[in-house]
Amino acid sequence: MPTRLGHMSVNALGPAETARYARQIRLTGFGPQAQSALLGAHVLVIGAGGLGAPVLTYLAAAGVGRISIVDPDTVELSNLHRQFIHSETRVGHRKVDSAKERLSELNSTLDIITHPVLLTSANALELIGPADIVIDGSDNFATRYLANDACEILKKPLVWGTILGFDGQVAVFDTRQGATLRDLYPTVPAPGSVPDCATAGVLGALCGSIGAAMSMETIKVLTGIGTPLYNSVAIHSSLDTSWETIPVRRLPDRETITDLGSHLGDYSDEVAAGHSGIPETDAAGGSNPTVTWPDIVRGTHLVDIRDDDEVLGGMVPGAQHVPMDALLDDPGQIAGHAKVALYCRSGVRSARTCARLRAQGIEVSSVSGGYLAYLSQPR
C-alpha cells in the first residue's frame, strides 16, 4: 500500500513495535506498512491547546515517529477543562514542555521536538520545512493564514480545524491537490471580528471531536488509507450530532502564494519577528497605534487586560492587571501615566480596547501579539 508521502522511509517493524500497535496493524487495509509509514513520519503541530491536546495525544499513541510542537503559551487553570494533555501540577509551565512530558509518558519511543515560539513570517518556512505534514490547531486568523501560506509555498499538506460556539470545521489543504484556506475563506477576517475562546467560551468535548477528526485526517494522508478531506470542508454541529461535507474548489483568479513578505498584513497579530503589521483605525477614525515588545520605550506603563484566571499562569513583570471589562467601565484606573500600553493574550482584545479608549480621548497603545509574543522572545 503506497503512502501519500512517498519520500518517507518505510522499514520493517520490530517485535516491540508490532506488539504496541497490534490493534491498528490488524485493521484490514492498514497493516504493518501503514504503521511503518507513521513511524517514519514527521508531523508539526501548531498549538498545544484545545485542538492540539487530542491531536498530539492520538498521534503519539498511534506511533507518529517525530512530532514537533509550536506554542509559546503557558498552562492556565482555565485550560484544563479541554486541554487534557496538561495537568494541575503544570499550571504556569510552558505548554510545549508540559505536552512533551505527557507524550513521553504515553510513548517513550517517539522523538518530540519543542518550539516555545510564535509562528511568524520570519520562522514559518524554517519550522515547517522539515515536516511531512502540518496540523493547525491555532486559535487566531493571523496564524491560520500564515500556516496555510507557508504550506502552499513549501507544498506541504495542512490539516486544519477550527471551533466556534458549538460547531467545528475540519479540512485538508494541499495546493498540489487543489484548494487551500484562501479558497475557502478568501478574505482574512479583521482582528477581533470573531470572538476567541477567552471571550466566547468553548466546550472541551467539542475540542475532542474536532481534534480526533483532525488526527484521523493526518493518519489518512500519511498512510494512504481512505480519502482525505481534500477540496472539501467537514462541518460538525455538536448540538444535533451532525456532519456535513461541503465541496471547496480552487478559485480560478486566486494568485499562487510564493512569498510571505507580500502578505504581512494578513499576519498582523504576529510580533516575535518584529513585524507590527498594518495599523488599525480607532472608532474616531484616527490611528490606533500598535507597538511590539522590542519597541516599547522605557517608562511605558504596561496594563494586562486579561481575565483573572488568565493571569494565574504569569504576567509581564511590573505590569498592572486591570481586566478588560473593568478597564472599559473605569478608565481612570490607568490615569496618571504618560505612556500606557495594553496587552492581552494575543493582541486582539487589547487592540479592540485600545480603539474604544482612544475614541474617548485616552492615549493608549496596544502591544501586538500580546502575552504570547512576550513569551516567544529570546530569554
Find the CATH number of the domain harbouring 212. Answer: 3.40.50.720
Do residue 65 and residue 145 come from a single domain?
yes
Q: Looking at 151, 207, 344, 354, which residue is catalytic? A: 344
Find the CATH number of the domain harbouring 280. Answer: 3.40.250.10
Do residue 155 and residue 298 come from a single domain?
no
Angle (nearest 5°) at CA 173 between 167 and 177: 140
Do residue 241 and residue 280 come from a single domain?
no
Do residue 225 and residue 101 come from a single domain?
yes
Do residue 91 and residue 146 come from a single domain?
yes
| Catalytic site includes residue 344 | yes
Task: Please name the amino acid found at residue 22.
Answer: A
Is residue 260 in some structural domain?
no
**Using CA atoms, how far apart are residues 65 and 36, in angstroms rounded to an integer?**
9
| Catalytic site includes residue 197 | yes
201 dihedral zone (left: phi>0; alpha: psi -120 to 50; beta):
left
Do residue 215 and residue 115 come from a single domain?
yes
Q: At what angle do helices 52-62 and 95-106 cross, to 10 degrees?
A: 30
Angle (nearest 5°) at CA 373 between 367 and 374: 85
Do residue 185 and residue 89 come from a single domain?
yes
Number of domains present in the structure of the chain: 2
In the numeric block, which cell numbers belong to residue 328?
472599559
Closest CA to 194 of 253, 139, 231: 139
Do residue 23 and residue 121 come from a single domain?
yes
Q: Looking at 151, 197, 207, 354, which residue is catalytic? A: 197
H-type alpha helices, 249-342 = 324-329
Do residue 283 and residue 225 come from a single domain?
no
- pLDDT per residue as tens, the chain (379 positions): 555 555 455 578 999 999 999 999 999 999 999 999 999 999 999 999 999 999 999 999 999 999 999 999 999 998 999 999 999 999 999 999 999 999 999 999 999 999 999 999 999 999 999 999 999 999 888 899 999 999 999 999 999 999 988 999 999 999 999 999 999 999 887 655 666 666 667 889 999 999 999 999 999 999 999 999 999 999 999 999 999 999 999 999 999 999 999 998 898 744 333 333 333 343 334 445 889 899 898 899 999 999 998 888 789 999 999 999 999 999 999 999 989 999 998 888 898 899 999 999 999 999 988 999 999 887 6
Residue 167 domain boundaries: 15-247
Do residue 92 and residue 150 come from a single domain?
yes
Do residue 179 and residue 95 come from a single domain?
yes
Task: Tell me the CB-side half-sphere exposure of residue 211, using CA atoms within 13 A.
Answer: 27
Is residue 328 in some structural domain?
yes
Beta bridge partners of 366: 290, 342
Question: 207, 232, 247 — which closes off a domain?
Answer: 247
Return the residue matching grid coordinates 466566547.
200
Do residue 48 and residue 104 come from a single domain?
yes
Q: Please, which residues have CB within 8 angstroms of residue 59's CB and are 6 or more apart in sequence?
A: 43, 45, 67, 215, 218, 219
Q: Please, which residues have CB within 8 angstroms of residue 255's CB and are 6 or more apart in sequence?
A: none
